[in-house]
Structure 1
Amino acid sequence: MDLLIDVILRAGRSAVELSFFVLLPVMIVMLSLMRLLEARGVLDWVVTRITPLLRPFGLTGLGVFAAVQINFVSFAAPVATLAMMDQRGASSRHLATTLALVMAMAQANVSMPMAAMGLHFGVVLGWSLVGGLVAAAATYYGFGRHLSSTEHTVDETLQHPVAESAKGVLDVINRAGAEAFKIAVGSIPMLVLSLTVVLALRRLGALDALTTLLAPLLLAVGAEPALILPTLTKFLAGGTAMMGIMDEMLRAGTVTAATLNGASAGLLIHPLDVPGVAVLLSAGRRVADVWKPAALGALVGLAVRIAGHMIAG
């Protein structure tokens, strides 16, 4: 019992430190910036001009906005945009394309805090865009070509708060801060549980045994055995939990910044995991209906991202 209590307390301390001293400050600053740009109409201006360039990839204006949200806000931010596309009559083909794009890109709530751990954020952002566009094209022209292309009346006007006065600016910043606090607090339960399980398995020697068992196979394909733990955590518990594990491993010296910026950046930083997919599919029934072609397209985009990070080193 003493061992279990010690593990829980250590996991809780690590989870709270990561949530409040790494995730929260980064998210407050970036969300405030993004919400101010939204309120000033800057994002609308950017989306309007970029959309014609990205239409060949099967993306609409709202799809472009979802890409901005996943890269600069959080993995959950595009849920509202996907719901908007669903409600406003976007075709199933465009829904699948946008969902694939989001699934294949790097989520800001993981990539930005991990920049403090040594992650090369600019490189991640660049390959995130490339992988997302590849996923979108693979879905629109390949896996999702059989889906309906019928567009109903689609209003792509984005509704944002305004910040024309000092009070308006303060309101936007306060709302962004509250949103960032909600994200940080919401990440604590999953972080505590995942870190508790991982620390317990480590104390029992189960992780060392698993690593020893799989090491020859991983080395044969050029992968690092140290990535077994964060990979399992990522796909079962989500990106935030994986970030907590990587933070622990970096502190312990089990992995290095080079490992962080190798193929693992493409393999582990995206919302294509059990919790991430569950949240994204909550956007609406038609969004949930197209998850299979979207997931296949996202896998193609992730393969490109992984290859790109291996090349970039």
Structure 2
Amino acid sequence: MEILIDIILKSGRSAVELALFVLLPVMVVMLSLMRLLEARGVLDWVVARLAPLLRPFGLTGLGVFAALQINFVSFAAPMATLTMMEQRGASDRHLAATLAMVFAMSQANAAFPMLTMGLNFSTTLVFSLVGGLVAAAATYYLFGRALSVEEERLDETLHHPVAESAKGVLDVINRAGAEAFKIAVGAMPMLVLSLVVVMALKRFGAIDLLTQWLTPLLAMAAIDPVLILPTLTKYLAGGTAMMGVMDDMRRSGQISAELLNASAGFLISPFDIPGVAVLISAGRRVAAVWKPAALGACVGIAVRTAGHILAG
């Protein structure tokens, strides 16, 4: 029992420190910036000009906005856009392509805090965009080609607050701060639970045993066995939990900045059990197209993984 209490207390301390002193400050700044750009109409301008260029990849104007949200806000931010697309009559094929893109892209709530660990932002962003576009195109033209292309009259107007005065700017910043606090606090339970499980597995030797079993196979593929723990955490507990494990490993010197960047292609994305569960709850038709979207996302993540390895 003493061992369990010790694990819980250490995991809780690590989770609170990560959420309040790393995740929260980064998300406050990035969300405030994004919401101000949104309120000033800058994002509308960007979406209007990018939409024609990205339409051949199976993306609509709202799909472009979802890409901006996943890369610069958080993995859950595109939920509102996916819901909006479904309600405004986007076709199942466009929904699947957009969902695949979101699955395959880098999630801001993990990527930005990991910049403090040595993550290369420009490389991550470039391959996030490339992987997202490949995932969308693969879904639209291959895995989702049997889906309906019928659309209702599609309204792609983005409704959001404006910031035309000092009070309006302050309101936008306050709302962004509250949203960032909600994201940080909401991440704590999953962080605590996942870190408890991971630390317990480490304490009782399960991770060492798994590493011993998998090392010969990983050696054949030239993969460092130290990635077993963050990978297992990521796909079972999500990107934020993986970030917590990676933070501990970086502090203890178990993993280098070079290996962190080389593994970012398959570790930093919402394509995991919690991420998929959250995103497909955006709507009934969104949930119905998750299978072709998941297949497309696998292609996009494979491209991202290869890109990060070659770049690293």
The alignment's TM-score, normalised by the length of structure 1, stands at 0.99
Q: Cα deviations across residues 69-123 of structure 1 (Å, max 9, x unaligned)?
A: 0000000000000000000010000000000010000000000000011100110
How do 1:111-150 and structure 2 match up within 5 A? 111-150=111-150
Matched, 1:174 2:151: no
Matched, 1:8 2:8: yes
**In the alignment, what sits opposite 1:73?**
73
**In the alignment, what sits opposite 1:87?**
87
Q: Cα deviations across residues 114-152 of structure 1 (Å, max 9, x unaligned)?
A: 001110011000000000000011011110111000110
Question: Offset at 1:224?
Answer: 1.1
Matched, 1:297 2:291: no
Corresponding letter in the other structure for 2:257: A
**In the alignment, what sits opposite 1:282?**
281
Q: Cα deviations across residues 11-70 of structure 1 (Å, max 9, x unaligned)?
A: 011000100110000000000000000000000000000111111111100000000000
In structure 2, distance between residues paired with 1:115 and 1:23: 11
**In the alignment, what sits opposite 1:109?**
109
How do 1:162-311 and structure 2 match up within 5 A? 162-262=162-262, 264-311=263-310
Percent identity for Structure 1 against Structure 2: 75
Does the residue aligned with 2:213 lie in a helix, a strand or coil? Answer: helix
Corresponding letter in the other structure for 1:284: G
Q: Which runs of 4+ in 1 moved over 3 A?
A: none
**In the alignment, what sits opposite 1:54?**
54
In structure 1, distance between residues paired with 2:137 and 2:201: 41
Please list every run of 5 or more consecutive structure 1 residues that lacks an aligned counterpart in the other structure. none
In structure 2, distance between residues paired with 1:99 and 1:201: 33
In structure 2, distance between residues paired with 1:116 and 1:251: 11
Please list every run of 5 or more consecutive structure 2 residues that lacks an aligned counterpart in the other structure. none
Question: Offset at 1:210?
Answer: 1.1
Does the residue aligned with 1:109 lie in a helix, a strand or coil? Answer: helix
In structure 2, distance between residues paired with 1:89 and 1:199: 46
Q: Which moved more, 1:302-311 or 1:251-260?
A: 251-260
In structure 2, distance between residues paired with 1:164 and 1:119: 36
Q: Cα deviations across residues 139-188 of structure 1 (Å, max 9, x unaligned)?
A: 11110111000110110000010100111100000000000000000111
In structure 2, distance between residues paired with 1:11 and 1:211: 22
Q: Cα deviations across residues 209-259 of structure 1 (Å, max 9, x unaligned)?
A: 111111111111111101111111111100000000101111111111111
Count of matched residue positions in the alignment of Structure 1 and Structure 2: 312
Does the residue aligned with 2:36 lie in a helix, a strand or coil? Answer: helix
In structure 1, distance between residues paired with 2:210 and 2:133: 36
